[in-house]
Amino acid sequence: MFRSTVMPGIVLSILAAPAQAQTPLIELSANLHRIEAEVAADNASRMQGLMHRKSLPPNRGMLFVFPRAERYCMWMRNTFLPLSVAFLDEQGKILNIEDMEPQTEDNHCAGAPARFALEMNRGWFAAKGIGPGQRIGGLREISAR
């Protein structure tokens, strides 16, 4: 689930709907690794995020698509899975990666204006040797929307 920042230092909480909607899938890549990402491109799916999930396949994640590049923050209310989130700029370059603890409301924020956030099982990026400055491929189609 994400929190949208309106002004620097001010964060608005967004409550999520209880039902999990079916989200479309997109294939992304990081180095030689394939990612199957659910796409959360509207308010309802971004608010729901990965809440209430009990598991996530190893190369599956959720791509949050934001309407414009801003310093977005994520949190883990009602999210049972430990996750890592990579904040990405317009070109898919990783700005920063944050590890998140389940069922917490700690803010995990983009280090610079981000257009996307990619959540994966916690430790996925580190285990694959993927870090800030590297690019996530496959975002061109989404960026054109």
Q: What is the CATH number of the domain that holds 110?
A: 2.60.120.1140
Identify the pLDDT of residue 143: 61
Per-residue pLDDT at 5: 45
Range of the domain at 106: 2-17+25-143
Using an 8 Å Cβ cutoff, are 64 and 116 in contact? Answer: yes
Domain count, the chain: 1
Distance between alpha carbon 6 and the CA centroid of its chain, in Å? 18
pLDDT tens digit string along 98-131? 999 999 999 999 999 999 999 999 999 999 999 9
**Residue scoring higher pLDDT (1 or 59):** 59
